[in-house]
Amino acid sequence: MSQQFYVSPEQLMKDRADFARKGITRGRSVAVVEYADGILFVAENPSRALHKISEIYDRIGFAAVGRYNEFENLRIAGVRLADMRGYAYDRRDVTARGLANAYAQTLGTIFSSGGEKPYEVEIFVGELGEDAAHDQVYRLMYDGSVADVQGFGVMGGQSEQVEAYLGEHYTTGLDLAGAIKVAVTALGQDTDPVRTVEAAALEVATLSRSRPQPRKFKRLTGADVEAALRV
């Protein structure tokens, strides 16, 4: 008969956290930057089809790092949740806070339940406000913890170096080109020596207040990004 060894809960949680963190750091970083006109998401992603950044609702965007199948699953669930709430109530009743709560509880339950392996993902959920002071960005960790992001945030890969660079060079009230430039330069700080990330390898999207349509999410083309980097 096989003997079950005692593992302390602390050790169990630590092992699960280490496992999740290891999976997340394997990929490249994703940065989110608040600028004067809205929220900018920048990811290093050579694929044109498999997105790390997506639209959830009129004013809500989503960015993720980690295992594709897991965050894609969460993204689709988020779109369903948002569309269902907007249909049952009203479009204005769909909020990033509600979505972040749903994600946090789901990730937390999966993390602490013995059955499933923890999700190896981290997520940004951003909501565009009426003005820059009301923009909200939430960062969700693999264990379901939520943090409020102020100004900028980075997750995945070697995020410490990227975040340190942004901390030094980010200023409030940037224009779009300035925000793209600082975010893209920051993403290149993850190696020593520092590298330059090509526009073709980037996935860039914004939630922009200046967009006249109710759906504020917009993907920027390679040409847009190149033009911003040249300024």
Nearer to other proteins, 26 or 87 (CB): 87
Distance between CA atoms of residues 110 and 172, nearest Å: 36
Binding track, positions 94-123, relative to other proteins; x by CB under 8 A: --------xx-xx--x--------------
Residue 10 backbone dihedrals phi, psi, to 5 degrees? -60, -45
CB of 42 to other proteins, least distance (A): 18
Per-position x/- string for 158-197, each x denoting binding to other proteins as judged by CB under 8 A, each - no binding: ----------------------------------------
Selected binder of other proteins within 13, 17, 77, 132 (CB under 8 A): 77
Tokens 């330059």 belong to which residue?
196
Q: Exposed, middle or buried: residue 19 (CB in 10 Å: 0-12, 13-18, 19+)?
A: middle
Tokens of 189: 């700080």
CB 220 within 8 A of CB 229: no
Judged by CB under 8 A, the chain residues 31 through 70 that form the site for other proteins are 49, 51, 54-56
Q: Which residues contact 175 (CB under 8 A, 6 or more apart)?
A: 35, 36, 37
* Residue 22 or 215 having the CB closest to other proteins: 215
Rounded to whole angstroms, how far apart are CA atoms 70 and 76?
A: 10
Q: Among 88, 133, 134, 192, which residue sits at the site for other proteins (rule: CB under 8 A)?
A: 88
In the complex, the residues that contact other proteins under the rule CB under 8 A are 49, 51, 54-56, 73-74, 76-81, 83-84, 86-88, 102-103, 105-106, 109, 213, 215
